[in-house]
Amino acid sequence: MPYLHRNTPVRLVSILFAVLLLAGSATAQEPESPDLSGIPQPVMEGLKARFPQAEIRQWSQEEEGGIVVYDFEFIQDGQKLEADVKEDGSIFNWEKAIAAEDLPGKVKETVTLKYPEASLVEIMEITAVNEGKEALEGYEIVLKTAADKEVEVMVAPDGKILEEDAVNPEAETKPQRLDRRTEGKN
């Protein structure tokens, strides 16, 4: 039997190499796609009309103020995005991940003053959609405080804090944002 190195059969090395190759390819696979069968056709059509290349990673159905909204987390063209879509397929709002250097100066200043010892975890730029027209609504910023707690802050483009919530990783729903879905419904 041929030997590669003293007392190491070539066959054993080949088997080990094959096992390592298979193990590496198993971990490099794409994450499993979620079951999308529970999403109504108008909702999916609304999402795909605005985001035709959306690769959905996660979705949930929520009811807020009597209105059913589908919350999607997805990737499009390598960009992390989220969208809230109503049952009729209209998009309520959508968010895209941005870098800290893309935050407006007033937003950075507000967050730095309010949370001087915090580190950034995630920044999402929020675009509201009202009657088909899109407008920048603000920034959803997740911070890790000096006390090792996560806080989600929504800040308007002018730097005004619109909302602050502690993030609960065990919670099934995200903290509430300004709820334009229910304005005038009470």
pLDDT at 51: 98
* Token pair in block for residue 48: 């795909």
Residue 83: which of 57, 102, 63, 64 has the closest Cα?
57
pLDDT at 94: 97
pLDDT at 153: 97
**Given 1.10.287, 3.40.50, 3.10.450, 3.10.620, which CATH number is that of 34-91?**
3.10.450
CATH 3.10.450.40 domain span(s) along the chain: 98-169
CB-based contact 92:86 (threshold 8 Å): yes
* Token pair in block for residue 66: 């009597």
DSSP string over 93-144 = EEEEE--GGGS-HHHHHHHHHH-TT-EEEEEEEEEEEETTEEEEEEEEEEEE
Please state which architecture CATH assigns to domain 98-169: Roll (3.10)
Please identify every stretch of the chain with a pLDDT value under 50, giving residue numbers as ranges.
1-29, 171-186
* Token pair in block for residue 10: 């070539």
Beta-carbon contacts of residue 125 (< 8 Å; ≥ 6 apart)? 95, 96, 97, 98, 102, 136, 139
pLDDT at 53: 97
pLDDT at 168: 62
DSSP string over the chain = --EEETTEEHHHHHHHHHHHHHHHHHHTSPPPPPP-TTS-HHHHHHHHHH-TT-EEEEEEEEEETTEEEEEEEEEETTEEEEEEEETTS-EEEEEEE--GGGS-HHHHHHHHHH-TT-EEEEEEEEEEEETTEEEEEEEEEEEE-TTS-EEEEEE-TTS-EEEEEE--TT-SSPPP---GGGTT--
pLDDT at 31: 58
Per-residue pLDDT reduced to its tens digit, 35-51: 999 999 999 999 999 99
pLDDT at 30: 53
pTM over 0.75, yes/no: no
